[in-house]
Copies of this chain bind each other. A is one copy, B any other.
Amino acid sequence: MTRKLFTIGPVEMYEYTKGRPMGPLPYFRTDEFSDIYFECAERLRRLTGAPGDAHVYLLTCSGTGAMEAVVGGCFAGADRLLVVDGGGFGHRFAELAAHHGVAHEPVRLSFGEGLDYGAVDEALRGAPNAEAFTGMLVNIHETTTGQLYDKDMFAWFCREYGLYLVYDAIGSFLADPLDFEKDGADAFIISSQKALALPPGLAAVILSDRLYKKVVEQDIRPFSLYFDFRDAESNAARGQTPFTPAIGAILALHERLARLEEEGGAEASAARAKALAEDFRARIRGLAEKGLIALPSYRLSNACTPLVFPKGGAKEAYKKLAQRGLWLNPNGGELADTVLRVGHLGNLTPADNQTLAEALSELL
């Protein structure tokens, strides 16, 4: 049975990644490895539109580790953050802020609810001591709901109020159009197992120079020596990491980034995800018209399509599809029986979409 990952991480790898042998790996405290680090950093800057003075750190951890590194490493008691808590990952941002003693106000969304200007405006102006806000934490694409937020809106608010803007780009990088500078970002958080289609276990954090300077000038105490950005910075300056990194994943990243640039860069990659997402959504239009499946009405990321089962049955569908080798992303909590998510990342094709759409038709 062929197994196809429509999950949103890990995803189907490209042949050149999948076929890479695990070894041999080189010793890494060398100029040769430093060059690889520098090239990865430079390519990540180009692919995200980050300026030349942006700081790029490769962290050996999951995406959540990188989220925590940024929230706990760049902000402290004197800060106050607006957090878009529109699903599991927005909620994680809020939990991280709470855990690290950073004051924060959530903009909460229930499933199905789109985020608009008014809600953010109200949260920013309506909060007591509104002038104390210093930053905003946003998942560009809230992966648990599929919602793609309006980056222009956040950029506008953050400019207007002078806030640092932290973007979790994990579910959006290479799937949706992004531009670090145009989007007014101070941080992009990236993880290896989404559209990069690499094994999980490696993350990247890109910090604007002004956010890095905040860390240094405000002398933010690192909550962890493992996630200490100042240590990461002094090592990154020589193309190294403070501790032994996931060398194999970095070498695979190095190849993947080069291929991405050869193939037209981030725009071409997002266009590809868009085409694949639109192809899938067209294929299930019939099921939607029959009311067997619904899609949320907000703007969706190209990274995934959330399938809403109006009468429940998502769990059963997940199992039956998995038995056919078609792996979708189940949701947790309240949505466990009403939502399944279909990823459009990595090495998937319209033919794969067709297989899945047909399987869904048969099931429903």
Contact = CB atoms under 8 A, between A and B. Distances in A.
B23 A13 contact: yes
22 contacts: A3-B26, A9-B244, A10-B247, A12-B24, A18-B24, A19-B23, A20-B22, A60-B62, A61-B65, A65-B243, A68-B224, A72-B224, A95-B225, A99-B224, A99-B225, A193-B244, A199-B246, A199-B249, A200-B246, A200-B248, A223-B224, A246-B249
A223 B200 CA distance: 23
A63 interface: yes
Q: Please indicate which of the listed interface residues A5, A99, A199 has the most CB atoms of chain B within 10 Å of its own CB.
A: A199
A330 interface: yes
Nearest first, the 8 A-B pairs at minimum CB distance are A201-B246, A18-B23, A13-B23, A199-B248, A62-B243, A64-B243, A65-B226, A27-B327
B28 A24 contact: no
Contacts of A246: 199-201, 246, 249
A229 interface: no
Contact of A25 (B10, B243, B330): B10
Contact of A62 (B222, B245, B327, B330): B245
A65 B60 contact: yes
B61 A61 contact: yes
A252 interface: yes
Interface of A: 3, 5, 7, 9-10, 12-13, 17-30, 60-65, 68, 72, 95-96, 99, 191, 193, 198-202, 222-227, 242-249, 252, 322, 327, 329-330
A96 B225 contact: yes
A13 B24 contact: yes
Nearest to A7: B27
Contacts of A201: 60, 201-202, 245-249
A288 to B, nearest CB: 25
A73 B22 CA distance: 32
A252 B330 CA distance: 26
Nearest to A191: B244
Nearest to A14: B23
Nearest to A242: B64
A68 B222 CA distance: 13
A244 B63 contact: yes
Nearest to A92: B225
Q: Please indicate which of the listed interface residues A13, A18, A24, A63 has the most CB atoms of chain B within 10 Å of its own CB.
A: A24
Given A60-B65, A201-B201, 10 more contacts: A9-B244, A17-B22, A19-B23, A22-B198, A64-B226, A99-B225, A199-B249, A200-B246, A224-B224, A246-B246
Nearest to A62: B243
Contacts of A12: 24
